[in-house]
Chain A
Amino acid sequence: MEIASETAKTLLEVLREDLGLTGTKHGCELGECGTCAVLMDGKPVLSCLVLGVEAEGADVATIEGMMQGGQPHPLQRAFADLGAAQCGYCIPGILLVAKALLDSNPHPGRDEIREMLSGNLCRCTGYTKILDAVEMAAKGRGDL
C-alpha cells in the first residue's frame, strides 16, 4: 500500500496515526520495551525506532494481519487458550516476535523462546503462560 506521510514520522506513528492500525502498541518509544514490535520482511523490528520511510517497499506485518482467512494463527489460539494475555498490552508485539521465531525455527526449545522474547517486557504474566503458549503453538502445528 502507498501512503503519504511526514518523513520524520516513525513507523509506529505511521501505523497508528496515519493508517489507524492501533493494534501496534507502545510502551516507551525509545526502543526499550519491545511493545511496538512489528515484522519487516519477516524480521522483528521496533517500529518506534524505524522511520516510516525506511519501511518503503518492505513487507510490514502487524498484529492486524496475523489472522488469515478469518482464522486465528496457532499462536493466537494458544495465547487465548492458555490465558497468556492478561492486560494484553504487550501481546501484539510478543505474538509477532514469536511468529518470527516459529517461522524460522518451528520447534524451538524453551530457552530459545526465552532468548527470542527477552526484548519484550511483560509486567503481568511473569512470562510463564507466554512461554507455555509458544511451546504449545509450536507443538500443535507439526512441521507445517
Chain B
Amino acid sequence: MSRQGFSIIGKALPKIDAMAKCTGETRYADDLHFSRMVYAKLLRSPHPHALIRAIRTERALSLEGVYAVITGRDLPVRYGISPATEDEEALASEKVRFVGDPVAGVAAASETVAEKALGLIDVDYEPLRPVLSVEEALVAEGELRIHSWNRRANIQKAVSFEFGDVEQGFEQADHIFDETFFYEGNTHLPMEQYCAVAFYGPDGKLTLWSSTQTPHYLHRALSKVLGLPMSRIRVIATPVGGGFGGKSEPFSHEICVAKLSMITGRPVKITLTREECFYVHRGRHPVKMRIKTGVKSDGTLQAMHFQSFLDGGGYSSYGLATVYYTGALQTVVYKLPGYKFEGVRVFTNKPPCGPKRGHGTPQPRFAVEVHLDAIAEKLGMDPIELRLKQLVEPNTVTVNGLRITTTGLRECIERLAAKAEWKKKFRQLPYGQGIGFASSAYISGAGLPIYWNDMPHSGVQIKLDRGGGITAFCGSIDIGQGSDSILAYVVAEEFGVDPADVRVVTADTDLTPVDLGSYSSRVTVMTGNAAIQACRKLKDTLLRAAADALEIPADDLEFAEGKVRCRSFRDRAISFVECVQKAEAKFGTLGAMGSYRPPKHPANYRGSGVGPTPAYSYSASIVELRCDADSAEVKVDKVWIAHDCGRAFNPLLVEGQVEGSVYMALGEALMEEQVFRKSGLHKLPSMLDYKSPTALEMPEVETILVETNDPEGPFGAKEAGQGPLLPVIPAVTNALYDAIGVRIHEIPITPDKVLRALEGRLKPVSVPSFEFPPPIRWQPGEGVEVQQKS
C-alpha cells in the first residue's frame, strides 16, 4: 500500500485506546457510579395497541425506597429525531403503540425496589386491534389508525420519483425482468445494553452520560422535552459498547432519567435489560420490494422501476430518511439512463425500526444484485461481465443527481475476481457448492444534517501546551470504529509527532465543538477535514515563529519527527516543543478551530437531500459456500471482499470495519430476524433465541483495500464502516443459487426456506397493491452546477 510520504497515515498502529479496552479501564456508561445514586426502571406496555384510560402511581410511590414515579403527564412534549415527524413521547400518555412502549418511570434505592414498584403501578388500558402487516397498515381506518397526525391510513410517508427517460428506456429494452423480494427486519444487538446516568445539580444544570452515537441530537431533544435551555444541559457520550445505528436518536430512558434526577436531586442511572433492548429496537426495516428492469440483449441496463414497502413499527424514528434511502443509491453503482422509484413507509404495532448499518440500503442492494444475477443468467452472460459493462464512472452525476467523485469499483471487482479464481469456479463447482458475486456503494456521511441549518457538521478545536502536548477537542463519539484514534492520527500527521503525544477529548457538549454524531459513516471524512483545517491554522502560526528562529522562509519548513525542520537541509531544525514556546512567546496562547460542512449537491428536487455525500465508497464481494442437501444448512467457506475506502488511514482499523461488516452481513443473510407473534410479542427476545453468528460460524475473510485518494476526503479517505456490509448478503444468495440452483428472494435464508425452495414450495414474495403519489420528475442537468475538486 502506498504511503506517499505520510508518517502516520497508512500505518498499522494500535488504536490510542487499545490498552484501556484490553485492561478493563474503559469506562462505559454502566461503569459510572456516583454517591447518592438511585436506579430507574421503566414500565412498558404489554399491549401492542391500546388506549391508556388511567394510570395510578400512589401504591408505587408509597413503597419504601421509591424516590419518584413519573408518567406521560410529567413529560408532555413530543420529540423525534426528525423534526418533520416528532411523534414520540418519553412516556406514552394516551396511547401505546407497541409492546414495550414505556408508560411510567420509577427511581428507587435499588433496581430490585424499582422493579417491585413497577408492579404497583396500575395502568388501565383499553386494548385496540393491532396492525401487524404492511398490507393492513396501508388501508387502516378508524381505531386501526395508529397515529392521528399523518394524512391517510397508517402511511407515514409515500414518495415517488422519475429520473431520466423511464418510458423510453423500457420501450428500447429487449427484455423486461420483473421480480419481488422480501428482507426481514433484524436488530443491532450491541453487546452493551442501553444505559444512561443523569444528574441535575443544585446549580440548576443537568448532566447526562449516555451510551449514545449522537450526543448533539440528544442534547437538543433533552432541551426541548425538559424545557431547559441547551446551555444548562451537558451531554457526555460515554464510550459506546457497540452501536451499529441503534443508539443514534434520543430515547425515552435518557429523557426519563434526566427528569427523575430533576425531581429527586440525585444521580439516576438506568440500564435496560437485554429483553428491553429487543423492544427498543430501531433496527433494520422489513422491506418488500418489486423491481422491474429493462435491458438490452447485451446486458445494458435501460431503465429500472423500483418499489419498496417498509414496515416501520410504531413511530417515525429515522423513517423519513429510510424510505428515501431504499431508493436513492440504486443509481450510484451501475449506469441507469432511466430510473423510477416509489417507496412507502407504514406504521405498525411493533417496535419502531430505524437505522442499522447501511441504513435503508442493504434491502434494495440485496434485491438489485440478486435480480442482476438472474438477468445475467437469462442472457447467458457472466454476472461479473454484466456489471463491468456499466459501472458508474468517476467525476459524473447520476441520473438522480448524485455527484460521484472517485470510484475504485472496477479495480475492486478485477482484483477480487482474480483472488477468488472466479472464472475457474463459477458454475464449475460440484452440486452443493457455489460461488456468488455482488457489488455496492455507500455514502461517506450524509450531505445534510438531520435538522435544517447552515452550520458546520463537525468542529475540531486544537490547543497546544507549552510542554509540546497537543489536545484535540471534538464532539465525535468513538463507538468502536476508532474515531478517537483517527482524530489523533490526523493531528499527529499534520504536526509530525507521535499519536501518543496527542490527547483527544471527545463527545462532551460542554467541552467539545459540535460533531453531529457517529452515523451515516460520516466521522472520518468530516472530523478529519475539520481537524486538518484547525491544524493548518495553527501550523501557520508555528511556522512564522520557526521561520524567524531558523531564519528560513516558512514555505521551506516542514513538521516531521517531532521537529520543525528545513525541507532541504533537514538538520536545520528546532524541536516541536521549542517551536511551540517561541510561537507562544510571540503570539500568546495557542489554539485554533476548524470546521467542516459537506459540499453542495447538484440536485434541487424535493427529496434530493437523501443520498448526497462528499464521496461514495465502493465494495464488491465474492462468497463461496456449501449447502447440505438434507439439512439445507448453509455453510459459508470463505468471503473475499474488496473495498474502496479512498485512503486507509490505518489498514488494521479499515480491515476491522470490513470484517465486522462481513460478519454482520452473514448474520443478516442467514439467521438474524426480528419477528413478532400475533400478540405483538417478540418471538425471540434473548441472545439465545435470536441467532447471531459465533466464532464457529464465522468464515475466513480475505480483504482487499483499494485506495482512490478522493479529493473530498481528508488525505483522500472515504468511509469503511457500513459499505462493506452491502454486497455480502446478495453474494450469499447468488452463491446459493450457484450451489443448488434455487434463488431465494427472502432474507434471512434459513434452512426451512431452502428446503421449501428445493421442493418448489417457496411462494414468490407478494407486494401490496398501492397507488403511489404522482412522481416528482427530474432530469440530470436541471440542478445547480457544482465544481469538482481536483
Which residue in A27, A79, A90, A92 is a CB contact (below 8 Å) of B24?
A92
A80 and B14 contact, CB distance less than 8 A: yes
The docked-state distance in angstroms from the alpha carbon of A131 to that of B242 is 19
- B193 part of interface (Cβ distance < 8 Å): yes
The docked-state distance in angstroms from the alpha carbon of A92 to that of B688 is 21
A29 and B192 contact, CB distance less than 8 A: no
Residue of A nearest to B17 (CB): A88
- A122 part of interface (Cβ distance < 8 Å): yes
B24 and A63 contact, CB distance less than 8 A: yes
The docked-state distance in angstroms from the alpha carbon of A72 to that of B19 is 9
- A5 part of interface (Cβ distance < 8 Å): no
Chain B residues whose CB sits within 8 angstroms of the CB of A120 once the complex forms: 695
Given A24-B24, A76-B22, A91-B21, A124–B701 Cβ distance below 8 Å? no
Which residue in B27, B650, B663 is a CB contact (below 8 Å) of A125?
B663
Residue of B nearest to A32 (CB): B687
A124 and B274 contact, CB distance less than 8 A: no
A76 and B274 contact, CB distance less than 8 A: no
A20 and B33 contact, CB distance less than 8 A: yes
Residue of A nearest to B19 (CB): A80
- A33 part of interface (Cβ distance < 8 Å): yes
The docked-state distance in angstroms from the alpha carbon of A68 to that of B482 is 27
Q: Which of A21, A27, A62 has the most CB of B within 10 A?
A: A27
Q: Which of B189, B191, B273, B660 has the most CB of A within 10 A?
A: B191
- A118 part of interface (Cβ distance < 8 Å): yes
Residue of B nearest to A125 (CB): B660
Chain A nearest Cβ from B485, distance in angstroms: 9
Given A126-B659, A130-B695, A32–B688 Cβ distance below 8 Å? yes
Chain B residues whose CB sits within 8 angstroms of the CB of A82 once the complex forms: 652
B14 and A25 contact, CB distance less than 8 A: no
B686 and A87 contact, CB distance less than 8 A: no
The docked-state distance in angstroms from the alpha carbon of A128 to that of B693 is 12
- B297 part of interface (Cβ distance < 8 Å): no
- B190 part of interface (Cβ distance < 8 Å): yes
Chain B nearest Cβ from A134, distance in angstroms: 10
A87 and B656 contact, CB distance less than 8 A: no
Chain A residues whose CB sits within 8 angstroms of the CB of B25 once the complex forms: 23
A123 and B22 contact, CB distance less than 8 A: no
B659 and A123 contact, CB distance less than 8 A: no
B696 and A89 contact, CB distance less than 8 A: no
A87 and B663 contact, CB distance less than 8 A: no
B23 and A72 contact, CB distance less than 8 A: yes
- A14 part of interface (Cβ distance < 8 Å): no
Residue of B nearest to A119 (CB): B694
Number of A-B contacts (CB under 8 A): 174
A124 and B242 contact, CB distance less than 8 A: yes
Residue of B nearest to A123 (CB): B242
Q: Which of A27, A76, A95, A126 has the most CB of B within 10 A?
A: A126
Chain A nearest Cβ from B226, distance in angstroms: 29
Which chain B residues (537-587) contact chain A, with CB distance < 8 Å?
Answer: none
Q: Which of A35, A86, A113, A122 has the most CB of B within 10 A?
A: A86
The docked-state distance in angstroms from the alpha carbon of A43 to that of B274 is 26
Chain A nearest Cβ from B606, distance in angstroms: 37
Chain B residues whose CB sits within 8 angstroms of the CB of A22 once the complex forms: 24, 27, 30-31, 33
The docked-state distance in angstroms from the alpha carbon of A80 to that of B653 is 11
Which chain B residues (632-677) contact chain A, with CB distance < 8 Å?
Answer: 650, 652-653, 655-656, 659-664
A90 and B191 contact, CB distance less than 8 A: yes
- B15 part of interface (Cβ distance < 8 Å): yes
Chain B nearest Cβ from A16, distance in angstroms: 8
B480 and A87 contact, CB distance less than 8 A: yes
B191 and A129 contact, CB distance less than 8 A: no
B695 and A28 contact, CB distance less than 8 A: no
CB-CB contacts of B187-209 with A at 8 A, as 1s and 0s?
01111110000000000000000
The docked-state distance in angstroms from the alpha carbon of A76 to that of B688 is 28
Which chain B residues (445-494) contact chain A, with CB distance < 8 Å?
Answer: 479-482
B698 and A121 contact, CB distance less than 8 A: no
Chain A residues whose CB sits within 8 angstroms of the CB of B662 once the complex forms: 126
CB-CB contacts of A101-144 with B at 8 A, as 1s and 0s?
00000000000011101111111111111110000000000000
Given A32-B686, A32-B688, A123-B242, A88–B663 Cβ distance below 8 Å? no
B695 and A118 contact, CB distance less than 8 A: yes
A30 and B24 contact, CB distance less than 8 A: no
Given A20-B33, A114-B696, A88–B244 Cβ distance below 8 Å? no
The docked-state distance in angstroms from the alpha carbon of A87 to that of B255 is 25
B: contact size bracket? 35 or more
B19 and A29 contact, CB distance less than 8 A: no
Which residue in B22, B243, B694, B700 is a CB contact (below 8 Å) of A95?
B22
A83 and B687 contact, CB distance less than 8 A: no
Residue of A nearest to B112 (CB): A8
Chain B residues whose CB sits within 8 angstroms of the CB of A86 once the complex forms: 480-482, 656, 660
B18 and A85 contact, CB distance less than 8 A: yes
The docked-state distance in angstroms from the alpha carbon of A83 to that of B657 is 10
Chain A residues whose CB sits within 8 angstroms of the CB of B17 once the complex forms: 88
- B239 part of interface (Cβ distance < 8 Å): yes
The docked-state distance in angstroms from the alpha carbon of A89 to that of B21 is 8
The docked-state distance in angstroms from the alpha carbon of A77 to that of B481 is 19
Given A63-B24, A120-B695, A88–B659 Cβ distance below 8 Å? no
Residue of A nearest to B28 (CB): A89
The docked-state distance in angstroms from the alpha carbon of A91 to that of B36 is 30
B241 and A87 contact, CB distance less than 8 A: yes
The docked-state distance in angstroms from the alpha carbon of A72 to that of B22 is 9
Chain A nearest Cβ from B273, distance in angstroms: 7
The docked-state distance in angstroms from the alpha carbon of A74 to that of B698 is 24
Q: Which of B21, B188, B243, B700 has the most CB of A within 10 A?
A: B21
Chain B nearest Cβ from A28, distance in angstroms: 4
- B692 part of interface (Cβ distance < 8 Å): yes
Which residue in A27, A85, A126 is a CB contact (below 8 Å) of B22?
A85
A128 and B694 contact, CB distance less than 8 A: no
Which residue in A20, A89, A113 is a CB contact (below 8 Å) of B191?
A89
Which chain B residues (225-249) contact chain A, with CB distance < 8 Å?
Answer: 239-244
The docked-state distance in angstroms from the alpha carbon of A117 to that of B698 is 12
Which residue in B21, B650, B692, B696 is a CB contact (below 8 Å) of A88?
B21
The docked-state distance in angstroms from the alpha carbon of A31 to that of B31 is 20
The docked-state distance in angstroms from the alpha carbon of A81 to that of B660 is 17
- A59 part of interface (Cβ distance < 8 Å): no
Chain A residues whose CB sits within 8 angstroms of the CB of B31 once the complex forms: 16, 22
B28 and A128 contact, CB distance less than 8 A: no
A88 and B480 contact, CB distance less than 8 A: yes
Chain B residues whose CB sits within 8 angstroms of the CB of A124 once the complex forms: 191, 242, 480, 656, 660
B14 and A33 contact, CB distance less than 8 A: no
- A49 part of interface (Cβ distance < 8 Å): no
Chain A nearest Cβ from B158, distance in angstroms: 34
B694 and A121 contact, CB distance less than 8 A: yes
B191 and A79 contact, CB distance less than 8 A: no
- A67 part of interface (Cβ distance < 8 Å): yes
Q: Which of A22, A64, A79, A89 has the most CB of B within 10 A?
A: A89
B192 and A126 contact, CB distance less than 8 A: no
Chain B residues whose CB sits within 8 angstroms of the CB of A80 once the complex forms: 14-15, 18-19, 21-22
A128 and B18 contact, CB distance less than 8 A: no
The docked-state distance in angstroms from the alpha carbon of A137 to that of B695 is 18
B192 and A25 contact, CB distance less than 8 A: yes
B274 and A29 contact, CB distance less than 8 A: yes
Given A88-B21, A126-B663, A27–B695 Cβ distance below 8 Å? no
Given contacts A23-B23, A124-B480, A126-B660, 18 further A-B contacts (CB under 8 A): A25-B241, A29-B273, A30-B686, A30-B687, A32-B274, A32-B688, A79-B22, A81-B14, A81-B18, A83-B650, A83-B655, A86-B482, A87-B243, A88-B20, A88-B241, A89-B192, A123-B188, A128-B663
- 7 A-B pairs within 8 Å (CB atoms) are namely A22-B31, A32-B274, A80-B14, A117-B695, A123-B191, A125-B656, A128-B663
> What 4 pairs across the A-B complex have the smallest Cβ distances?
A23-B24, A87-B480, A126-B663, A88-B21
Residues of B within 8 A of A (CB): 12, 14-15, 17-28, 30-31, 33, 188-193, 239-244, 273-274, 479-482, 650, 652-653, 655-656, 659-664, 686-688, 692, 694-696, 698, 700-701
